[in-house]
Amino acid sequence: MSTESRKLITTLIIVASVLLTPIAVKQAYTMRGYWAFGGEWFLIPLGLLIAQFWKDVASTMTEEMDKKKRPLPAVNRIRAKHKST
């Protein structure tokens, strides 16, 4: 996965959490019937947490995929050859 697509997905997650927070706040206040701070305010930090988790997982997966594409160093190829016989 390219760096640009990781940044795009991260940005979309953050924007979605910021845009959904006012909707959730309005709905919660309507249901409660009074002003209070509840879990609806947790949407922004949750979005940031999910975005960071996404970046870390995608980065790790990319690194692991790159490792599999690289050829083994000569010493490891010789060891691998002897183990398989």
**What average pLDDT does the segment 64-85 reach?**
64
pTM of this structure:
0.66
Q: What is the mean pLDDT of the chain?
A: 83
| 8-17, 33-42, 43-52, 73-82: the lowest-pLDDT one | 73-82
What DSSP letter does each residue of 40-73 carry, written as one string? GGGHHHHHHHHHHHHHHHHHHHHHHHHHHHSPPP
Cα distance between residue 27 and residue 49, in whole Å: 23
Looking at residue 63, its pLDDT comes to 82
